[in-house]
With several copies, the nearest count.
Chain A
Amino acid sequence: MYTEKVMDHFQNPRNMGEVEDADGVGEVGNPQCGDVMRITIKVDDEERIEDVKFKTLGCGAAIATSSMVTEMAKGKTLDEAEEISKKSVADALGGLPPQKMHCSNLASDGLKKAIEDYRSRS
């Protein structure tokens, strides 16, 4: 069902955990829906994402998209990172099953929320 890339990110998630002294935190989802993602970011002086980590409760797609989003976001400017769409995450993973596209692909929303959070703080 899942591509090899999805399984790789599921089995070997990149950037799992929490950034210490995070500059921004984004949480999306709801345990009652079986999906919660928490993205923490560290932003450098040039508004680049210096570090980003995730913690996720969810299915294989949820974990893999979380991992992928952190990889894609790292090193990007906030403006660039905000452009990361659900579709681009899914594409980077070699595609997701149709029924997963929507419900378990919230990680880019989480990232946006973390960026918002960062901006609201500054």
Chain B
Amino acid sequence: MTESIFMDNAATTRTDPEVIAAMQPYGNEKFGSPATLYALGSEAKSAIDGARQNLADLIGADPREIFFTSGATESNNWAIKGVADALESRGKHIITNEAEHHSILMPCRYLEKKGWEVTYLQVDGDGLVDPEAVIKAMRDDTVLVTMVHGNHEIGTIQPIAEIGAAARARKVPFHVNSAQAVGHIPVDVDELSCDLLTVSGHKFHGPKGVGALYVRRGVRITPLLLGGGQERKRRAGTHNVPGIVGLGKAAELARNRLDKEPARLAELRDYIIDSIENNMEDIRLNGHRTKRLPNNVNFSFDGIEGESIMLSLSYPTSRDKKPIYVSTGSACVSGTLEPSHILLALGVPVELAHGSVRVSLSRENTREDADSFLSALYEVVERLRSMSPVYKRGSKKCASGSGSDGCDCEAAT
């Protein structure tokens, strides 16, 4: 059916046809704003209420604790800046970890410039944060702990419930960036003891441009977008009705699949990991082997560079092969000279960080896709290694160990 194999679902996912169908009436026909009183508005309002309920059901929340946003980036910025603003008088210290998504790190750095202190906890070689480290880092002036749920690049799932319990014990608000986890694995805000939780629509077959922030009742947070009284005065702006309806539908569809799909994907993931480990040399699995999002595979390949692997997979030389879409942590795609800060945080040597490939699966991927990917990968890696002036079989670079210091790549040219 598809003419390509899409395995970059951590970047974005195909909007489910059922989601598109659910959104469809709200563009042209039922286009009213829910803030208005007449029939067209009421239709929009009840559609939004339904979506709110669906999303609440997916994460075990009360619908009144769901606030729709434009996506995970807004939710993360809001959570961090909003709690910081509301609790500034209590203290100016935030705890996070060094391997977070930029939409967490950048607001933290912004606050640092404003006089806040941020503790960036180290992660171990698998990308895990130690809950004990969180406990040790909490101070009387700590007003927020924010932790990613499932890492978007290496898939490692943090011990959120333990961290949550620790934060709760100290009465420190706890934010979880669950952009990659909601809709992929069971998420329950009470089990996780979290106070705020970020949701992204397009990461689980919902539409782009819509997300949500769960805010537990009683948690103090200053709005980021101020204006009209929408979202119970916490997030202004005319509702993106089709987007919200689509997010609700995606939540419903994901919930219906939660009993089987994570297991199916984990099997596919393990099949890919095992195959690579059994058939290839001088490779390194990045991220935790089992505490891992069911759809994430991330490997580094010694002696070659990630963008060229990715490009080779996506532009196959032979016409009877399907393009395969994956991503890489190489600097070549980040637009900077540095490879993924997440891989470096694990202690992956810089050259291996450049040579990383991330595969992220979705409900659309099959065992055949995995086989096509594997055979293409074997071929591509072999070909690129044959071109590489530095690759030497069995050089043991991939043994885990601390990263090298890096170099001044600008000067090196």
Contact = CB atoms under 8 A, between A and B. Distances in A.
Interface of A: 1-2, 7, 10-13, 16, 27-38, 55-63, 99-100, 102-104, 106, 109
A60 B406 CA distance: 22
A103 B387 contact: no
B390 A31 contact: yes
B330 A34 contact: yes
A16 B389 contact: no
Interface of B: 37, 41-42, 45, 303-308, 311-312, 315, 317, 330-332, 335, 337, 339, 350-351, 354-355, 384, 387-391, 404, 406-407, 409-410, 412-413
B404 A32 contact: yes
Contact of A57 (B312, B331, B337, B389): B389
Given A31-B351, A59-B305, A59-B330, A13 B387 contact: yes
Give the one of A33, A55, A109 with max B CB within 10 A.
Answer: A33
Contacts of B45: 1
A100 B308 CA distance: 13
B413 A28 contact: yes
B388 A57 contact: yes
A55 to B, nearest CB: 4
A55 B383 CA distance: 12
Give the one of A16, A32, A60 with max B CB within 10 A.
Answer: A32
20 contacts: A7-B311, A10-B311, A13-B387, A29-B412, A32-B350, A32-B409, A34-B306, A34-B351, A36-B388, A36-B390, A55-B388, A57-B388, A57-B390, A59-B308, A59-B330, A60-B311, A63-B308, A63-B387, A103-B337, A106-B413
B351 A10 contact: no
A37 B331 contact: no
Nearest to B385: A57
A59 B407 contact: no
B405 to A, nearest CB: 8
Contacts of A11: 312, 315, 317
A32 B315 contact: no
Nearest to B412: A30
A96 B90 CA distance: 40
Contacts of B307: 59-60
Given A33-B407, A62-B305, A103-B337, A56 B389 contact: yes
B305 A35 contact: yes
Nearest to A61: B332
A36 B308 CA distance: 13
A70 B350 CA distance: 29
A84 to B, nearest CB: 16
| Shortest 9 CB-CB contacts between residues of A and residues of B | A33-B409, A34-B354, A38-B389, A59-B307, A59-B332, A55-B389, A31-B351, A32-B350, A57-B388
Nearest to B333: A59
